[in-house]
Every structure is written in C-alpha cells, then in structure tokens.
Amino acid sequence: MTDDVTDRRAELIAAALASELTPDEVAELDALRAEDPTIDADLADFGVILGSVRSVEMWDEDAPTSELAARVAGIADDTSASEQGADASVVAPVDRAGDGSRRRPTRVGRFAFAAAAAAACVAIGVGGGVMLATPAAPPSGPAGALGAVESVSFDGEPAGVEVDGDVIAHTWGTETVLTIDGLPVGDVYDVIVLDGSGREWSAGTFLGSEVTIDCTMNASVLRPDAVQVQVRAADGTKVATAALPSVAG
Amino acid sequence: MTVMTTRPTPEWSAMGAVESEFDLSVAFAEHGPSLLGFAVNALRDRPLAEDCVQETFLRAWRSRSGFDADRGSARTWLFTIERNVILDVYRARRRTPTLVPAEHAGELAAEESDPLERLRIVEALARVSPEQREAVVAVHLTGLTYQEFSDASGVPVATLRTRVFYALRAMRGHLEGVDND
C-alpha cells in the first residue's frame, strides 16, 4: 500500500468516526472496505476508544510553568536527591492552603499529597438530617503515623517487572498497597511483611496478570515493628523487596 | 490539608551498576508537557499535578541507574513512574472521607466505579503528540467539525483527519500494551 493510499485510508476512517463522510467518500470507503477487512476492525476499535475519550469530557492543555521547570531542574542539585541510596525518610509538609502562599518543599522529594483539597461536603446527621461539614484532612505525619500513606520503593524486580507501593499504619496492623506490572499470568505470589526479628507476617497472596494489578493487603504486625515488605514467588524466590523507614519511638 | 509521605532508603539493584545517561532538563523539556497533561487531566488539580510531575522526575532521578533503554524508552519509563505517583494520589483520596447525602450515595459510587479505566484513557491521550491530541480534542471532545477546526487552525482538513487516525492508532497500541514511544 502506497503512502497516498495509506493516508487516504486514514482520512476516510477518521471522517467516518466523526460522521463526516460525503456521499462520494461513503462510496469510496465502502470500496476500500471490500478489499481491506482491517478497516472495519479499525473502525470498531477506534469507536470504542473514542467512547472512552468522550467520557473524559474536557482536556486541559496547559504548558508547564517556568517554576515547575526550575523545581525539576533543582532535583539534580539537591544532595539528598542526587545521591542514590540516600536516606529520604525524613518528611516535610507542603502547605496547600489554597491561598496562594503554598510553600514548596525546601528539599525535593518531600512529596506531599494534598488529596483532601475537595470542597466542603455534606454529612448525614444522627437524626437523619443533613449538615455541612468540612472534609477531614487525610492522616499525616512521620513514618508510622496512623492512616498516613507512606510511599515505599521496591527493588530487585526481574526484567520486565515493576512493583510500586505504599504502606499504611493501622491500629490492627500494617496495610500494604501494591501496583504490579509484568508478572506471569496465573502464577501465585505472596506478600510478606517482616519485623525486626526476621519473623514473617503474611499479608496475602495474588495472581500474576496481564493487566496492572492494584491490590491491598493486610498483615497483623504493627507498623513500628515492620521493617521490610517482600513479594515472593510460590517457590519462595524474592521478586521485589522494599525496606521500610524506621518508626521513631 | 496535607498528607505527608515518607520514602525508604532505596536499595539499588545490580542492574544499576552502570549509571545511565539521564539528563533531567532534557527529559523535562521533551516529556514534561505530556506528563503534566497526564497529571492535570487525571487529577483535575493543577498544583497537585505539578507536585506529581516533580515527584515523577525525582523518582526517575533516584532510580536513573536502573533505567535500561533496551527495555523501553525514557518516555515510557517516565509515564510508568507517573502512573504510579497518580495511583498513590488516588489511594490517598480513597482514604479521605467523602461524605454525601444518602440519596446521592449511589450516584457517587456509580461515578467512581472505575477510575482506573479513566486513568488509562487519559494516559493514552496524554502520550500522543500535541498536534494529534489537539485534533482529537477539537473534534471529539469540543465537538468542532473538521472544517471548523481547519478554519480556526489553518491546518488542512485532510491533515487533521490523518492526525486523528494516527492518534487513535497510537492510543490503541498503548491500551494494548504495545508502545511505540
């Protein structure tokens, strides 16, 4: 197929998806479809994708600010960020009060999620009535703070496998939230939380999948006692390991 | 309102024995706009999106020795990192109490039934070229005809049509896990 034919095929498919074919183009596309069944496959696939695109409803195309560029460029200059393996367990707050006075971390890497920036919401009162309430801020604090999301870095994954996760301290134990890509479909994996004595606490199991795995698991070991999270294959082989920051006593 | 996260001391794999060449400024210039677009449109919160982009480059910088160009492009690598950063935000949001009147609780559950599916399509759209995305957005989100967008942009209709076609083809590749970045 020549470039001209390829481009014309592309044009006609795009026009069809927007319902903008002229009568002559309808006939032209029908003739092409008779010779090339992949056109119907493209129309079907792209129609599904456009359905999903429309559900996005709007698109913000703002360019990065020079301030953001400077913040990113500054990462290389920051000692703690530059040194691979540097201790980055210290946290610092980012004030996102929304009044324009938001402070940026003085040291990069102190990423602070401000997920509670939602507007005031409504709570159900005891008597069934409705009252305005200010949304509760997500729990925050240093490593081990109850309810706070601690991002952890996993290492040691085999080629093609990526594991990312968080841990959350609870009164009943330690929650591990994992995002995993690339593990063989159907293979069984264990998630283990280790305490300082080396004792292993099972957090649960999952199966490898061809799509991204997003799972939450719980281990009955308190966060201050937990020192490491491991993902292991069924034969015990370590797939990924994350060291947890120590919790101040 | 803040949530502070902590990060452990990374342990570097053998794969990182040879430090790869990763220039932050170059990477930001090439991929920063797309990464910001992904975060802004996934989160609908510009300041938070900027924090996500900064965190993405920080994580990339810290693990630059583990980057292997043979396994994928820097663009694919950065998008993978950012996806995980955004998922962290989703998780934090999920833990934030969202209190609504009882009669609207069902609506809220329906709206948030599959945020990951929305994240996938936003990422796919963020990854195509700005020109391709502009055409998709104009015709299929804004609702312009190709002729109307051609009149406004000065780009021939035929070119706009092919841009949409190749955008959709690239998005299909991404959604099927076949990236051509």
Across A53-57, A243-247, B30-34, B65-69, the highest mean pLDDT is recorded for: B30-34
Q: Which of A136-145, B9-18, B32-41, B49-58 has the lowest mean pLDDT?
A: B9-18
A129, two tokens: 């009535």
Same domain, B137 and B171: yes
- Looking at 3.30.70, 1.10.3720, 2.60.40, 2.40.50, the CATH number of the domain A149-243 comes to 2.60.40
What CATH number is associated with residue B158?
1.10.10.10
Most distant CA pair in chain B: distance in Å? 58
Q: Is the pLDDT reported for residue A192 higher than 80?
A: yes
Q: Are residues B105 and B40 in the same domain?
A: yes
Residue-wise pLDDT tens digits, B98-136: 555 555 555 555 455 577 889 999 999 999 999 999 999
Q: Which residue did the predictor score with more confidence, A76 or A240?
A: A240
Q: A136 phi and psi, to 5 degrees?
A: -70, 140
Domain count for chain B, please give it. 2
pLDDT at A158 over 50: yes
Q: Could B57 and A75 be called an inter-chain contact, meaning their C-beta atoms sit closer than 8 Å?
A: yes
Q: Residue A89 and residue B158: Cβ atoms within 8 Å?
A: no
Number of H helices, E strands in chain A: 5, 11
- Is it the case that residue A45 has pLDDT exceeding 80? yes
Q: Residues of chain B with pLDDT > 90: what percent?
A: 56
| A215 inside 8 A of chain B by CB | no
In a domain, residue B181? The reply is yes
Residue B155 at interface with chain A, using a CB cutoff of 8 Å: no
CA–CA dist A182, A160 (Å, integer):
6
Q: Most confidently modeled of A83-97, A170-184, B124-138?
A: B124-138
B107 in the same domain as B74 = yes
Q: Are residues B174 and B147 in the same domain?
A: yes
Does B84 sit within 8 Å of A72, measured CB to CB? Answer: no
Which of B107, B126, B145 is the last residue in one of the domains? B126
- Is B36–A63 a contact, with Cβ atoms under 8 angstroms apart? yes
Q: Which helix (H) or strand (E) holds A204?
A: strand A200-207
Tell me the β-bridge partners of A133: A121
Instruction: Tell me how many degrees the CA angle B110-B112-B118 measures, rounded to the nearest 5.
Output: 120
Contacts of A209 (CB under 8 A, 6+ apart): A183, A185
Give A-chain residues touching B145 at CB under 8 angstroms.
18, 20
**Cα-only R_g, chain B:** 19
Q: Do A143 and B6 touch (CB under 8 A)?
A: yes
Look up the ipTM and state it.
Answer: 0.79
- B61: which chain A residues are within 8 Å (Cβ-Cβ)? 75-76, 81-82
* B2, part of any domain: no
Question: Which structure tokens are listed for A218?
Answer: 């719980």
B18 touches chain A (CB under 8 A): no
Residues of chain B neighbouring A53 (CB-CB closer than 8 A): 121, 125, 136, 140-141
Q: Are residues B96 and B156 part of one domain? A: no
DSSP label at residue A183: P
Q: How far apart (Å, rounded) are the C-alpha atoms in residues A85 and A87? A: 6
DSSP H or E run through A186: none
pLDDT at B31: 95
Same domain, B23 and B70: yes
Chain B residues closer than 8 Å to A245 by CB = 6-9
Query: Is there a single domain that holds both residue B78 and residue B152?
Result: no
**Lowest mean pLDDT: which of A32-36, A199-203, A213-217, B27-31?**
A213-217
Asked if residue A164 has pLDDT above 80, the reply is: yes
Containing structural domain, residue B119? 19-126
Task: Domain ranges for chain A, please list them.
Answer: 3-56, 149-243
Residues B69 and B26 in one domain: yes
Report which of residues A220 and A36 the model is more confident about. Answer: A36
CATH code, domain carrying B61: 1.10.1740.10
Residue B105 covered by a domain: yes
Listed by number, the residues of chain B in 66-95 with a beta carbon closer than 8 Å to a beta carbon of chain A are: 68, 71, 80, 84-85, 87-89, 91-93, 95
Tokens 């009060």 locate to A97
- The two tokens of residue A38 are 């992949």
Which token pair is B30?
């090439």
pLDDT of B95 > 60? The answer is yes
| Helix%, strand%, coil% for chain B, nearest 5 | 70, 0, 25
Please check whether residue A158 touches B, CB under 8 A: no
**CA-based nearest distance B38→chain A, Å:** 9
Residue A66: how many other CB atoms lie within 10 Å: 8
Rounded CA-CA distance A93/A105 in Å is 7
Q: What are the pLDDT digits (tens) for B46-78? A: 999 999 999 999 999 988 887 777 777 889 999
